Amino acid sequence: KKDLPLVLAAPNETGDTYLVLGTTAKTMSSRRNPFGLAFQLAANQLSAQVKQDTFETCLMQIPAEDLEAFMETLQV
């Protein structure tokens, strides 16, 4: 049985951005979460205006209009 990665997107109160979190089953046992780099690459490819306000690179705030394209571009 293969564990699949998980990506969650939750809208903020105003609905203009989403907070996106990515994690894998291996994240708990390893030091690096592959979503940090994957999120940055996807955002750069789309030229999306994103925010990373925490030290956790697997969390990113994404404009609502870029969410669908971001999720389709995301590769881990």
Average pLDDT over residues 2-12: 89
Q: What is the pLDDT of residues 30-57, one digit of tens each?
A: 667 788 889 889 999 998 889 888 778 8
What CATH number does the domain located at 6-73 have?
3.30.70
**How sure is the predictor about 11, in pLDDT bands with cuts at 50, 70 and 90?**
very high
User: Sign of torsion, CA 71 50 64 60?
Assistant: positive
User: Which tokens is 58 given?
Assistant: 């697997």
**What is the pLDDT, as a whole number, of residue 56?**
80
Average pLDDT over residues 14-33: 79
pTM above 0.85, yes or no: no
Q: Does 28 have pLDDT greater than 60?
A: no
The residue extents of the domains of the chain are 6-73
